[in-house]
């Protein structure tokens, strides 16, 4: 997915620093020793992809650091990174001793906002990280979804859809964070109302390797079954329970019936002879 250029938020915070065009003027850009620079305490990003850092390091060895990082003098007389921690890490890996940097004095609030906006535009940001960044922008700076969208150069619907991810169960969020499911899968999962069904659909998507379109079909079927149950007053078989039954039947080679009841239920495994029972026992206990 191609990222749009940084939104107007960066230029509002640092008006004389254009991130979209290479500056002709070198005033204000200094070559600072890497050892005198440290990550900023307000950096919202905690995880960095080692492979991506290594690739960036290769590029820096070949071409140098094209875009300066932005730093501020910290209380301990070391420069703190406001913008560009990936370039700083990659420069270390590339064996450089210095890095081009622009020193700025901005408030801690502006620093956090700048770091959040920069992170949102990282190519390798996963949907959960992007959602968390939008949420933090909204919470820390009392911004509406419309204001967030304007500041980061996105449309409001995209911001709203990402924020909805924060309502998913932790297990589903973890799958999305790990890349086991995609943003499209997550939207299909959100169409299912209960957390239990959302977790079940996530498991089906991962186990079966469903495409987004297939996941949407599963989600639609689950919603239709729930709607039919309300209309008729009869409890429909849960599509996820049926899928689990089929998996267990394939594993055990016999009929399996799951009978949910409240928060628990029963598992009924059929056998047709003592030898069959022994076979099933051996499968379960091995």
Active site residues: 85
Token pair listed for 31 = 């070559």
Count CA within 13 A, CB hemisphere, residue 278: 3
Residue 6's SS3 state is coil
Rounded to an integer, what distance in angstroms lies between the CA atom of residue 99 and that of residue 56? Answer: 14
User: What is the phi-psi region of residue 246: left when phi exceeds 0, alpha when psi lies from -120 to 50, beta otherwise?
Assistant: alpha
Token pair listed for 86 = 């990936």
Strands 37-39 and 29-33: unpaired
Residue 269's SS3 state is strand
Q: Are 87 and 56 in contact (CB under 8 A)?
A: yes
The crossing angle, in degrees rounded to 10, of helices 183-190 and 212-232 is 0
Q: Are 245 and 234 in contact (CB under 8 A)?
A: no
């Amino acid at each position: 997915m191609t990222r749009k250029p940084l939104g107007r938020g960066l230029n509002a915070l640092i008006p004389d620093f254009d991130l979209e065009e290479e500056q002709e003027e070198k005033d204000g850009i200094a070559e600072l020793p890497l050892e005198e620079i440290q990550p900023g305490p307000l950096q919202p990003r905690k995880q960095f992809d080692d492979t991506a850092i290594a690739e960036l390091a290769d590029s820096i060895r070949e071409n140098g650091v094209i875009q300066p990082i932005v730093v501020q003098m910290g209380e301990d007389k070391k420069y703190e990174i406001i913008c560009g921690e990936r370039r700083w890490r990659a420069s270390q890996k590339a064996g450089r001793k210095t890095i081009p940097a622009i020193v700025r004095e901005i408030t801690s609030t502006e620093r956090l906002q700048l770091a959040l906006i920069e992170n949102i535009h990282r190519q390798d940001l996963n949907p959960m990280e992007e959602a968390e960044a939008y949420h933090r922008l909204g919470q820390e700076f009392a911004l509406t979804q419309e204001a967030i969208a304007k500041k980061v150069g996105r449309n409001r619907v995209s911001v709203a859809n990402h924020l909805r991810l924060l309502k998913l169960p932790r297990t589903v969020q973890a799958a999305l964070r790990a890349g086991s499911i995609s943003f499209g899968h997550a939207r299909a999962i959100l169409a299912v109302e209960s957390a239990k069904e959302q977790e079940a659909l996530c498991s089906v998507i991962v186990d079966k390797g469903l495409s987004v379109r297939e996941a949407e079909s599963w989600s639609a079927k689950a919603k239709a079954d729930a709607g039919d149950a309300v209309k008729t007053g009869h409890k429909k078989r849960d599509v996820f329970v049926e899928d689990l039954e089929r998996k267990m039947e394939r594993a055990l080679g016999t009929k399996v019936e799951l009978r949910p009841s409240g928060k628990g239920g029963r598992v009924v495994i059929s056998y047709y002879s003592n030898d069959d029972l022994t076979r099933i026992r051996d499968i379960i206990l091995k």
